[in-house]
Amino acid sequence: MLKRIHLTKALFQLLALIVLNVSINIAQAMETSFSMTAKSATFSGAGSASLFVSVVNQDGELVFSQSSNGTPIEWTLVNDITDGSYKFEITMSDIAPGKNSRDRVSNHKPNIVKKTGFVRVSDGKFVMEEIEESENTEEESVWRQVKSYSDQLARSAIEFLIPAAHADVLQNDDLIVVGSQCVGIDCVNGETFNFDTVILKENNLRVFFNDTSRTGSFPSTDWRLIVNETVNGGANLFAIEDSTAGNRIFTIDGGAPTNSLYIDRTGRIGIGTSNPATLLDLVNGDTPTVRLTQNGSSGWSPQTWDLVGNEVNFFVRDATNGSKLPFRIETGAPTNALYVDSTGNIGIGQANPTEALHVIGNAIVSGNLELGSSRFIKQEIKDLALNEAINTLSALEPVMFKYKHSPEQQSIGFIAEDVPDLVATEKRNSLRPMDIVAVLTKVVQEQQKTINELSTKLDTLIEQE
């Protein structure tokens, strides 16, 4: 009978290996490889059109990031590199960075594969030992499913063939344990529970949620709780895995600081604080930063932006192009320093802009100021009548005044409510300088014409004498 049992299990395992081999051939379209010298590490992605690598130190600080069109990426150690463990993440995709354009829609859904691992630096050099983190790959996911089915079939056969005395304990009713419980190969008699109700105790801690739904549209995704990696040099972590897809959805590194992620009873989320004041509250002792990284894996060109705030200013940093700061607001800036209303009008110092750009205060242009004046943007063009220009110029009343927002500065000009209708605006609360320039030009031209005529007559009289 034992031979029959072993033969049955062998057949199931052979079937599993055949299915697994087929799945591996499919899944190995993109594979990562990693090599090191004393001073450099090379990350490769065979079969990928896009490759992105990022490396963080033990404190979670980014020390290296780079993207490529699938070519290997090399990380070279700098002279002042700190000894310790460094975690890397490799992102591979089957679509090249920069292939997509925002002016057209791509129907291709990229196939993205992520791989993480660790390297150690000692005395400024890489330690030549493999301490790679074992990620859940597609073939492992397929293997788990095949193995699960084969184990179920093997278990059924064994339960049928082996006498009940040798079978697992089966409790055909609810199980109630009054007291604490220890599960695992390292549990001992006299286990100390303290306030723990359930203890899982062994060197490979996993909790697997196996949903056996197989009919209709019932959800059937399997999940797993993972505690720490199972390889030498792997990460200390707590993770939630979508075991059906083979993806780790949520991970917490061991040693993460208190209140790394905190959700209060109102649903507000604190990062670095247990007292979030807003829906999302990021607290840090020095320059809290939000990084937005487009790594090229979906076909768009790689680009990284930072939103940063500290005691000096709030700014947007273009981390890809020399860490330029295209936008900055200093602390203490007044209310409505920059205001964009619902129509798209922009106010500077003004909460109710009435034009595309409405400025309260002085403006300096260190360069040429050009006003659109092409005939292609105008209509009903006709000459300005001389008498209208003369009458308008005569009616203008230049005054001296001070703006209320700058009472210390003397200015000269006109009062919008008092100017003639020809140069008045519809609301009569502002002026268009070019209107007055046009009036002045017309009058000056006529005066110059008169001067030229008088000068010619005078020259003639002098010659006659």
- The distance of Cα 380 from the centroid of its chain, to the nearest Å, equals 50
Query: In the structure encoding, which two tokens stand for residue 446, read together?
Result: 């006529």
pLDDT at 22: 39
- 129 neighbors 85 (Cβ within 8 angstroms): no
Backbone φ and ψ for 271, nearest 5 degrees, come out as -115, 105
Q: Give the contacts of 39 (CB within 8 A, at least 6 positions apart).
A: 76, 77, 125, 126
Q: What is the pLDDT of residue 5?
A: 43
| pLDDT score for 447 | 93
- The predicted pLDDT at position 100 comes to 80
pLDDT of amino acid 151: 52
Residue 276 CB-density burial (10 A; 0-12 exposed, 13-18 middle, 19+ buried): buried
Contact between 337 and 348 under an 8 Å Cβ cutoff? The reply is yes
Q: Tens place of pLDDT for every residue, the chain, 465 residues?
A: 444 444 444 444 444 444 344 333 434 467 778 888 889 999 988 888 888 998 988 877 888 988 898 899 999 998 888 998 888 888 888 888 888 876 665 667 788 888 888 888 999 898 865 444 444 444 444 544 555 555 555 555 555 555 554 567 888 899 999 999 999 999 999 999 999 999 999 998 999 999 999 888 899 999 999 999 988 888 899 999 999 999 999 999 999 999 999 999 999 999 999 999 999 999 998 999 999 999 999 999 999 999 999 999 999 999 999 999 999 999 999 999 999 999 999 999 999 999 999 999 989 999 998 889 999 999 999 999 999 999 999 999 999 999 998 899 999 999 999 999 999 999 899 999 999 999 999 999 999 999 999 999 898 888 887
* Strands (E) located in 264-342: 269-271, 280-282, 289-294, 303-309, 313-318, 324-330, 339-340
> What is the rounded distance in angstroms from the CA atom of residue 38 to the CA atom of residue 359?
60
| Sheet of strand 339-340, all strands in order from the earlier edge strand to the far edge | 339-340, 346-348, 357-359
Q: Report the pLDDT value the prediction gives residue 166, as an integer from 0 to 100.
A: 52
Per-residue pLDDT, 192:
94
Q: Which amino acid is at 355?
A: E
- Cα separation, 252 vs 275, in Å, equals 20
Q: Is 60 left (phi over 0), alpha (psi -120 to 50) or beta?
A: left
Distances (CA, A) of 77 to 83, 121, 272: 11, 9, 31
Rounded CA Rg of the chain: 38
pLDDT of 431 = 93
Query: By C-alpha distance, which of 265, 261, 264, 259 is closest to 251?
Result: 261
Residue type, 28: Q
Q: What residues contact residue 274 under an 8 Å CB cut-off, 6+ apart? A: 258, 259, 262, 264
224-270 pLDDT, tens digit per residue, is: 999 999 888 888 999 999 999 999 999 999 999 999 999 999 999 99
